[in-house]
Amino acid sequence: MNKIGIIGAMQVEINHLHTIMKDCKEIKIGNLVFYEGKIGKTNIVLVKSGVGKVNAAMVTTILIITFKVTHLINTGVAGGMSKDLSIFDIVVSTDVIHHDMNAVGFGYKICEVPGLDTISFPADKKMIELAKEAYKEGSFDKKIKEGRVASGDVFVSTAEAKAKIVDICNPVCCEMEGAAVAQVAYLNKVPFIIIRAISDMAENTDEVYEEEKAAKYSGFLVEHLLKKLGN
């Protein structure tokens, strides 16, 4: 039976899913709280990781080793990197990359993680297809886009920083956790997907960051996807 691990960095990114959980119990491990229960008929474990790749890697490892999850979803908000995207549009990952990984001086390609012989981590194809089906059935008023998600331990808020990331790895959006989730999933052979809604366009510190509403769009799609992963 499937058990889905769901990770959001911030409280606002897990609020919707936490609200609709049934039979929910809290399990504390260190400074983390894991919520184990059901959404619909699907068994899930939901957790707020905290911001950044170390936090994301830590909770992903716990979900796999301690809770024995069969699938992983990283949900939340992201900065738009593609001209095709608008605020609140939803991104479904095709692959995920560390935009701030640079071991070129040791002979590796830009963004390549030393020792892994890969530049990016591919999301699970079946989960991608199910997410697209869930989107169609969910009557969303914003569009969905498949594409590369880039992650780094930096909040991108200038046009210059955005342009550099686009030049390096050409993602459709960027955030601060997905690549860590993806790398741990890849190493443990656990299927994963990153689902993010666009909260800003990652290029202007004067922008209004629509985190709460964007997080709901992402959460809604995850909710619909869980119905398809419950078998």
Residue 167 catalytic? Answer: no
Instruction: With beta carbons less than 8 A apart as the criterion, state whether 226 and 42 touch.
Output: yes
Residue 13 catalytic? Answer: yes
Q: What are φ and ψ of residue 121, in 5° steps? A: -115, 115
Q: 101-135 burial, b if ≥16 CB within 10 A, otherwise e?
A: beeeeeebeebbbeeeeebbbebbeebbebbeebb
Q: List the catalytic residue out of 95, 177, 200, 223.
A: 200
Question: Catalytic residue positions?
Answer: 13, 200
